[in-house]
Structure 1
């Protein structure tokens, strides 16, 4: 039985808000990181854009782009991260920012990937089908090498799209991991 995970929701703005400038993005990112640091244990983070009408690319890059850099570097630890409440305009701003940075994120409502998703969309879709799996199982399902699967899984974990934990008793020795959806 899977334990229920703690979800921390961070509302980005008030309804009807237009977010612009790098300074505003840096301030919002600082707020997010402070709230996140005070949460214990490490939660699934839900960044809620509900009510945000539009955002400039400079705001999104400073707020979300740099947050995902911290996440990938391990400076911020999360079980998972998902973006919710995006409208058509804000979704496009997020996608452009993430594509430029070669990053991607999970849109929470429909579990799609936004940003630089070239081969990652198929990998994430297969991971969702499998639910809980090892790299070898994903490689078999996609018809790719285990090395390639591990590289893709690393990126999905860094983006907060998947969680990784030690697998019980590896058959061949060494470390083996189980991957799950947060």
Structure 2
């Protein structure tokens, strides 16, 4: 696997990011172990939501790229950081299904945690929300040092991020900054 190159996402990445995020979360071209298509229908994010996020001063979206066969860079993953005082919420995290199970996710998550500390040196806590029925995804984050909390939230139906196909909630995971 070629080394990843990280950079902050730009508005010019909008179409490629829309495709990547919706492919990884909701479309099911191949059996992706992180896909939500069996649990939530509809887009994970639309163009307007992504545009707003990219100009939000409190949100940082990073892309991971690799050299492709055409002597250019391809976006293979992204991850978002939203800061709130001494805490950062990690979200919008996805890896192109073709590149899953290659170690890219671990590398991207480690990059995001390190980048969050550079942006907010007084950071004390990483946190994220995961669909409660995604036991394999929760286990993945637990292997990376995250712990389940007692906090569960209703699925955000009004946020226009898809419609649940069954009864689901968001489960919070946290990791203390060491």
- Larger relative helix fraction: 1
The structure with the larger Rg is 1
Tell me if both proteins adopt one fold, taking TM over 0.5 as the criterion.
no
- Larger relative strand fraction: 2
When normalised by structure 1's length, the TM-score is 0.29
